[in-house]
Amino acid sequence: MNYLQKIDNIGNLLNFINSQNNFPDYEDIRNITVDAFAQNTQNYLIALNLANNLNNIEFIQNEISDQFVEHDLEIINFNFDGFIKDAFFVKSFILFENHIRQIALFYELTPNTLNVQSINTTIKNITGQNKISFINISESEIEILLFYCYLRNTMHNIGFQTQADKQINLNDVNSVISNENHTLKLTQNSANEITFTEFILLIEQVFKILIKIDSQLPKTDKIEHKLNTIGY
């Protein structure tokens, strides 16, 4: 997939995220997390637009180094594309994990009953065991969130899945990325082979599940985002 196609996909995702930023309390996680997701996606969109210049050897020689030659372009583009994708993924996961943990912290009656060291267990605590009675998402949605965590864990091993095989199926007829059926796999002792479309589709689905969870939180419960305390 070339830069222009990626730009189109990320632009669609950004527009969708912005359309969900409607919680009236600007200090609450339901506003700040959505806004932060939008900013992160916008940064990726900007990076992709700028990266399109890396196909131009004159730009590279004039703006970066005159030591590069034409046959370096493929490697330069491959490396930079992976770099900005990783940056987008890491920041997206940070925003997601913080959101889940702040919900757990807000509703736990005693420490370490909802928010625990493992983000996987924390997800299960707030969604799958009815510890918070008003949060109700499906098993398949929980599996999507957990797969997102498994994918993130591959970064500890430079993209390789060291644990047991994991697999999810994504089929969202209302997706702004792809309406087709996608099966995402992580195979033990193999590098993940998730495509760009599947990667962005997964981010979209995770974001949609966060929005669904947020819609079930009582509006009168103010969950102040940590970033608000430092002037976000």
Higher pLDDT residue, 178 or 130?
Answer: 178
Q: Locate tokens 């047991």: which residue? A: 164
| Span 13-24, pLDDT tens digits | 999 999 999 999
* Model pLDDT, residue 131: 84
178: phi then psi, degrees, rounded to nearest 5: -160, 130
Neighbours of 154 (CB within 10 A): 19
User: What is the structure's pLDDT at 2?
Assistant: 86
pLDDT in tens, 165-196: 999 999 999 999 999 999 999 999 999 999 99
Structural domains of the chain, count: 1
Nearest Cα to Cα of residue 42 among 92, 78, 86, 94: 92
Distance of CA 16 to the CA centre of its chain: 14
| CA 27 – CA 29 distance, rounded (Å) | 7
* Centroid of chain to Cα 59: 31
pLDDT (mean) for 198-225: 97
Tens digit of pLDDT for each residue in 31-55? 999 999 999 999 999 999 999 999 9
Residue 75 corresponds to which tokens in the numbers above?
């490697």
pLDDT of res. 232: 85
C-alpha 186/C-alpha 190 separation (Å) is: 8
Tell me the average pLDDT of the chain.
96
Query: Where in the sequence is the domain holding 140, given as residue range(s)?
Result: 3-230
Tell me which of 83-87, 128-132, 211-215 is least confident: 128-132
Taking each helix axis from N to C end, the angle separating 3-19 and 196-216, rounded to the nearest 10 degrees, works out to 0
Residues 6+ apart with CB under 8 A from 6: 48, 196
